[in-house]
Amino acid sequence: MQETFSIIKPDATKRNITGSINMLIEKSGLRIIAQKRIKLNKDQAVQFYIVHKEKSFFNDLVDYMTSEPVVVQVLSGENAIERYREVMGATNPENAEEGTIRKQHALNVQENSVHGSDSIENAKKEISFFFKSEEIVG
């Protein structure tokens, strides 16, 4: 069993489709073992995406991620990190496969509805950025 970190992003909370996204997550066999709806502040968004600070889209990304609430989640399952990346589909929805969250719901490469960790190390970091261990109840 492995854990990964997920964010349902502002474009999705704004359109009231968090339930539809959770349905796709659960249909894939992943379990949502922790979840909360929060509004990121600028410091949190900057820290969370600090690896992208030199990218041309960084300021827009921070503005977008703080524009509306997000839902942060811990997902659990066999190979959860890779599995969730398959369920999300490609970062750019134009390249995402049929049936993926981003193919079905994302608007564009920035407003791409969901985030998922890309490695074991980042999953640990990202989970502990948002959740205390007692908030992960299984």
Chain residues in the site for ligand CMP (CB under 6 A): 52, 57, 61, 91, 109-110, 112, 115
* CB 20, min distance to ligand CMP, A: 19
Which of 115, 117, 130, 131 is labelled catalytic? 115
Cβ-based nearer residue to ligand CMP, 129 or 133: 129
Show the DSSP H helices in the chain as ranges: 10-14, 18-27, 42-48, 58-65, 80-88, 101-105, 120-130
Cβ-based nearer residue to ligand CMP, 4 or 112: 112
* CB 138, min distance to ligand CMP, A: 26
Beta bridge partners, 5, equal 74
Cβ-based nearer residue to ligand CMP, 110 or 133: 110
d(C-alpha 24, C-alpha 35), whole Å: 15
* Known catalytic membership, residue 115: yes
Closest CA to 76 of 114, 32, 120, 22: 32
Catalytic positions? 115
